[in-house]
Amino acid sequence: MSDRPTVGTGTFGPDLVEVFGPSQQDGGPELVQLLTPEGERVHHPEFDHDFSAEELRGFYRDMVLTRRIDTEATALQRHGELGIWAQLLGQEAAQIGAGRALRPQDYVFPTYREHGVAYCRGIDPLNLLGLFRGVDQGSWDPAEKNFGLYTIVIGAQVLHGVGYAMGIQRDGAVGTGDPDRDAAVIAHFGDGASSQGDVNEGFIFAASYNAPVVFFCQNNQWAISEPIERQTRIPLYQRALGFGFPGVRVDGNDVLATYAVTKAALQRARDGQGPTLVEAYTYRMGAHTTTDDPTRYRLSDDVEHWKLKDPIERLRVYLRRNGLVDQAFFDDLDQEAKDLGHHLREGCKALPDPQPLSVFDHVFTETTDELVAQRDGYEAYLASFEGEHA
């Protein structure tokens, strides 16, 4: 008989067995997977899903176009058109799986790397480039897209997400049984951010108030140059139990598994069952940002190993092997990706430079007297230079 504490029957809250079934006994199997790196479909007792051919083709299209966004933005930065770019190469499945599991009324709190999730929420990727070009602070409407502005401060969005989830709870939009009303929040962060106080404080508040939030951690195994083993002695998903809610580790390079797990976690939140930590176990194939040189701190053998687990290639193999696509599908998608690339290249160069006073436009929802005084002072300062060029 195991001397492992029985979690869920005391004051700690639910454990994996209670929430997701008997296969999660003692934390295993550790990795939820529905599509192997070789493109073989496997089944899972708690997180299986019947995917239609249309859904599978849609996942593939989403990942290909998301990768093209990343490739084009990286090239634009190299050509001096962007100040910086946060790459997502290799993490397409984690983002598309999580993004497509959302309902329209759900709300997303992103980091600065959720380009695939932004794409799923209908945001023109050109809007993302404006932020990295330095011409705006994020030009999409968060209220329209239910997708927050990118957060540069590491981990801060987790606190924002928990607070918003508590607001949903108080609005009575949780646990009503109405699929068009019940809502959840998903807060994205990386393995590096898991060491931040804001993230852990968010966990505490979410557990204490049973907030309808999914904590989605893309564990790409590198916090810039720090490997994951320097941050934690246990798998990240197991930390959740210490806060009193369940955690699950999913193959973050498997779009099918990521979708199924995130969908289940979001529904649990909408039903009023509280938070879940999803650890999407993946790998950052590129640099942390375009200012980073990963060859200085990691081995090329690791990168080559993870290339064999490419999220797009495994789904491509599955689609071809099962006769779910023809060559025309790939040809059309290739042209669509080329058109997207052209849109980004030309659109980025055409983005207008901001007016100096526009920095005051969106500081607060309602402009304060103090802000007006600051704006007037800055306007007068700018006007003082006009005579010098007369």
Q: Report CA-CA distances (Å) from 199 to 14, 43, 259.
A: 20, 32, 23
pLDDT of residue 18: 53
pLDDT of residue 240: 95
pLDDT of residue 233: 82
Active site residue 49: no
Residue 167: Cβ within 10 Å count: 13
Distance of CA 197 to the CA centre of its chain: 20
pLDDT of residue 4: 38
d(Cα 58, Cα 155) in Å, to the nearest integer? 31
pLDDT above 90 (res 126): yes
Active site residue 119: no
Which of 280-289, 309-318, 322-331 comes out lowest in average pLDDT? 280-289
Residues sharing a CB contact under 8 Å with residue 63, sequence separation 6 or more, in sequence order: 92, 93, 96, 116, 255, 311, 312, 315
Q: Report CA-CA distances (Å) from 13 to 312, 328, 344, 349.
A: 37, 51, 47, 53
Which of 70-84, 289-303, 320-334 comes out lowest in average pLDDT? 289-303
For 199-223, how does the pLDDT look when each residue is reduced to its tens digit (9 = 90+)?
999 999 999 999 999 999 999 988 8
pLDDT above 70 (res 16): no
What type of residue is 209? Y
The confidence band for 297, taking pLDDT boundaries of 50, 70 and 90, is confident
Q: What is the DSSP secondary-structure string of 296-360?
A: GTS-HHHHHHHHTT-HHHHHHHHHHHTT---HHHHHHHHHHHHHHHHHHHHHHHTPPPPPGGGGG
Is the sign of the CA dihedral 302, 307, 312, 313 positive or negative?
negative
pLDDT above 80 (res 111): yes
Q: What is the DSSP secondary-structure string of 19-59?
A: HH-GGGGGG-S-EE-SB-TTS-B---TTT-----HHHHHHH
For 253-264, how does the pLDDT look when each residue is reduced to its tens digit (9 = 90+)?
999 999 999 999
For 222-272, how does the pLDDT look when each residue is reduced to its tens digit (9 = 90+)?
888 888 888 888 889 999 999 999 999 999 999 999 999 999 999 999 999
pLDDT of residue 300: 85
Query: Is the CATH code 3.40.50.970 the one for domain 22-350?
Result: yes
Q: Which residue in 163, 159, 212 sits closest to 189, CA to CA?
A: 159
pLDDT of residue 281: 94
Q: What percent of the chain has pLDDT over 90?
A: 78
The values of phi and psi at residue 251, to 5°, are -65, 105
pLDDT above 80 (res 11): no
For 163-208, how does the pLDDT look when each residue is reduced to its tens digit (9 = 90+)?
999 999 999 999 999 999 999 999 999 999 999 999 999 999 999 9
Residues sharing a CB contact under 8 Å with residue 143, sequence separation 6 or more, in sequence order: none
The values of phi and psi at residue 276, to 5°, are -140, 145
For 25-83, how does the pLDDT look when each residue is reduced to its tens digit (9 = 90+)?
333 458 999 999 999 999 998 998 999 999 999 999 999 999 999 999 999 999 999 99
Catalytic residue, from 115, 188, 239, 284: name it.
284
Catalytic residue, from 68, 100, 270, 288: name it.
288
pLDDT above 80 (res 327): yes
pLDDT of residue 157: 97
The values of phi and psi at residue 230, to 5°, are -85, -5
Q: Which residue in 284, 275, 69, 285 sits closest to 190, CA to CA?
A: 284
Active site residue 284: yes
Residues sharing a CB contact under 8 Å with residue 45, sequence separation 6 or more, in sequence order: 21, 22, 23
pTM score, whole prediction: 0.89
Catalytic residue, from 297, 321, 342, 362: name it.
297
pLDDT of residue 140: 94
pLDDT above 70 (res 6): no
Q: What percent of the chain has pLDDT over 70?
A: 92
